[in-house]
Structure 1
Amino acid sequence: MDTNAVLDIGLDALVLAAKLCAPVLITALVVGLAVSLLQSVTQVQEVTLSFVPKALAVGVVLLVTGHWMIAEVVSFTEELFSRIPTLLSGG
């Protein structure tokens, strides 16, 4: 196994991680911003008002995109397993 193969696998893993976490992080960011704006306008500073909507939105996003996430991880794992013979032979 050479350095280029290791870097290629690492890059693919990082891209996959970014693709998988993007929907959850973007949703939490948008909902957090909306709740913060609402709190600023109404001057209600309640901690649970910030946490509960984000938790519910992230849960909904996980329900909606969960199947796609699992399919991406399975596809990546299958690709890695199919690469094993080439990595071991050094070619």
Structure 2
Amino acid sequence: MSPEFVVSLLSQSIWLIIKFVAVLVLPSLVVGLIVAVFQAATQVNEQTLSFLPRLLTTLLTIIFVGNWMITEISDLFRYLFLNIPHIIG
């Protein structure tokens, strides 16, 4: 196994993690910001008002993007399994 292959594999894995985190966190971040602006404007300081919309946004994002996420992780594992002979020797 060459160092270039290890670096390439590590790079692919890290970028996949970054894409997954970005897809899941960014919509929740936007909704949290909107709720925070609403709370600041109305001076309502309720913790559940901030938590529930972010939770629902994250769940809806998983529902809509889950198929893509499973396909991406399956492609990475398929690539790993098909390259086992190259990895070993």
CA apart distance, 1:14: 0.3
In the TM superposition, what whole-angstrom CA distance separates every residue of 1:11-61 from its partner, at most 9, and x where no partner exists?
100011111121111011100100000000000010000000000010000
Deviation of 1:88 (Å): 1.7
Partner residue of 2:14?
14
Alignment RMSD, CA only? 0.9
Flag as ranges the 4+ runs of structure 1 deviating above 4 A.
none
Distance of 2:44 and 2:23 partners within structure 1: 28
Displacement, 1:74?
A: 0.4
Count, aligned residues: 89
- Unpaired stretches in structure 1, ≥5 consecutive residues: none
- Taking structure 1 as the reference length, the TM-score comes to 0.93
The TM-score with structure 2 as length reference comes to: 0.94
Question: Residue 39 of structure 2 aligns with which residue?
Answer: 39
